[in-house]
Amino acid sequence: MSTDPSSSSAAAAEEISNKRKSKKPKYSRFTQQELPAWQPILTPRWVIAIFTLIALIFIPVGLAAFSASQRVVEVEFEYDSTCIPDSYKDNATAYIKDDTTNKTCTQKFIINSRMQAPIFVYYQLDNFYQNHRRYVKSRSDEQLRTPDKENDVSSCSPEDYVIINNKSEPIVPCGLIAWSLFNDTYKIQNNDKDLAINKTNIAWASDRNTKFGADVYPKNFQISGLIGGAKLDPNLPLSEQEDLIVWMRTAALPKFRKLYGRIETDLEVEDEIVVLIENNYNTYEFGGKKSLVLSTTTWIGGRNNFLGIAYVVIGSISLLLALGFLLLYILKPRPLGDPSYLSWNKNPGGLR
């Protein structure tokens, strides 16, 4: 953008400018835009090949995904309404808020297909907007990680401080997410034998090891005001409070599952499963639903036929398109690059 400003004599500058002016652009394929380029032309052959290829990939993948999904055994039952005693049917909220009522509820069901360990136990909430902006933001990752940052609660309002003896004390873990921690508990019996539910390693290892401090302990949590959900053991560091860690990975959609634990024994067909539910969590106030889910897993994840069906459908459409273009190619072939198809050749009266 410049020449040397120190060239003081006009003659010198002129010379430079002339030199510049006369500088012929250098030839290179790059500057002349003549680099060898691969020009993809969608010839019928290519088009048919592409569609066939898509079909060839999608249909088998779809079938595999579908069969994998079919192999998943999933038991799901909603218990929010069934676990309300008949006397409280019309006033579920009062029931759930009353500390004196017995919240235990027994559900029975029969296993229809064999479930191979590990069997994952999920709780499923519906109409619970864990993705609400107010909710998602109501946490302090700093505070969860290091004890020094326990006062870092500005983002947690309105669940940030608690007033104790006229002094503001920070809540650890602060924020609405932690405050609303799910607190239903399940006990599962198979043929009257207690099935152990393994609740370790249900959270991501990365969260346990790095994100939630091993030296951060719950403090002032759920001690006054409205109790939003579960309480935490103040003697356990956050990194070991796996239910909290799972809960704090907020769900993406208003209907979501969260891992409760794993059953590490197989369940056979005709096994009678009894679930003892402590129905504590108040979803009645906002019309949320609660379910318990037992599910095995395969490489595709839980039971969801969507992927398989979608793959098969798309593969089939591609196959049809391939056939369609093949037909078109046979019925109405157009020679490629035929100048007679150029618009001015089709209309000879055009511009001459």
Partner 1 sequence: MIDVKPRRLLTFLCNVLGIGIGPVLADFSKGHALESSPLLKEGQGQGQGQGQGQGQGQGQGQGQGMDSHSNSNCPSGNPLVPFEICDNSKPHHERRSRLKSMQFDDGFPLHEDNARSVYINDPKRTNQNYEFTGNEIRTSSYTLITFLPKNLFIQFHRVAYLYFLAIAALNQLPPLAVFGRTASLFPLLFVLCVTAIKDGYEDWRKHRSDRFENNRDCLVLQDHGIFLPKKWNRIQAGDVVKISADEMIPADIVLLGTSDKSGIAYIQTMNLDGESNLKTRFARQETVPAVTSESCAVTGVIRCEKPNRNIYEFTANMEFNGTKIPLNQTNIVLRGCVLKNTDWLIGVVVSAGQETKAMLNSAAAPPKRSKLEIYMNRETVWLSVFLFVMCSAVALGMGLWLRRHKHQLETLPYYRRTYLNRGPETGKDHKYYGIPMEILFSFLSSVIVFQIMIPISLYITMELVRVGQSYFMVEDMDMHDSSCGSRFQCRSFNINEDLGQIRYIFSDKTGTLTENKMEFRKASVFGKNYGNSMPVPPDTVKSKRRWKLKSEIPVDSDLMALLQKEKDSSSEERVAAHDFFITLTACNTVIPVVSGNRPCSYETKEDDGVVSIDYQGESPDEQALVSAASAYGYTLFERTTGHLVIDKNGEKIRLEVLGMHEFDSVRKRMSVVIRFPNNAVKVLVKGADTSMLRILANDDDIVWHATQDHLNEYSLEGLRTLVLASRDLSEAELEEWQSAYLEASTALFDRATKLRYAASLIECNLKLLGATGIEDRLQEGVPDAIECLRQAGIKVWVLTGDKQETAISIGVSCKLLTPDMEKIIINATSEAHCRDLLVEAKARYGVRSSGKGHGNGKHKTIVDPGMEEDDTAPLALIIDGTSLVYILERETESEASLFDIATACRVVICCRVAPLQKAGIVNLIKSRTDDITLAIGDGANDVSMIQMADVGVGICGQEGRQAVMAADFAMGQFQFLRKLLLVHGHWNYQRLGYLVLYNFYRNAVFVFMLFWYILCTAFSTTSALTEWSCVLYSVIYTSIPTVIVGVMDKDLSQQTLLQYPKLYGAGYRQEAYNIRLFWLTMIDTLWQSLVVFLIPVLTYKNSSIDIWSLGSLWTIAIVILVTVHLAMDVNGWILIMHLAVWGSIFITYGCLLVLDSIPLLPNYWTIYHLACTPTYWITILLVTVVALLPRFTCKVASQVLWPSDIQIAREAEARSKKHGDR
Residue 131 in contact with partner 1, rule: CB under 8 A: yes
CB 80, CB 290: distance < 8 Å: yes
Which 3 state secondary structure label does DSSP give 325? helix
Report the residue number, 234 or 270, with the smaller CB distance to partner 1.
Answer: 234
CB count in 10 Å sphere of residue 168: 13
Subset of residues 208 to 267 that bind partner 1, contact rule: CB under 8 A: 210-211, 224-226, 228-229, 249-259
CB 181, CB 206: distance < 8 Å: no
Report the residue number, 65 or 244, with the smaller CB distance to partner 1.
Answer: 65
Q: Which helix (H) or strand (E) holds 125?
A: strand 119-126
Question: What's the start-to-end Cα distance of the chain, in Å?
Answer: 46
Subset of residues 55 to 114 that bind partner 1, contact rule: CB under 8 A: 58, 61, 65
Residue 326 in contact with partner 1, rule: CB under 8 A: no
Out of 142, 240, 266, 271, name the contact with partner 1 by CB under 8 A: 142
Alpha-carbon distance 230 to 213, whole Å?
20
Report the residue number, 187 or 257, with the smaller CB distance to partner 1.
Answer: 257
* DSSP β-bridge partners for residue 295: 74, 120
CB 107, CB 186: distance < 8 Å: no
Report the residue number, 87 or 343, with the smaller CB distance to partner 1.
Answer: 343
Out of 134, 234, 268, 270, name the contact with partner 1 by CB under 8 A: 134
By rule CB under 8 A, what count of residues binds partner 1? 123
Subset of residues 11 to 40 that bind partner 1, contact rule: CB under 8 A: 11-14, 16-18, 20-27, 31-40
Which 3 state secondary structure label does DSSP give 260? strand
Out of 77, 88, 109, 204, name the contact with partner 1 by CB under 8 A: 204
Taking the complex as a whole, the smallest distance from the CB of residue 280 to partner 1 amounts, in Å, to 13
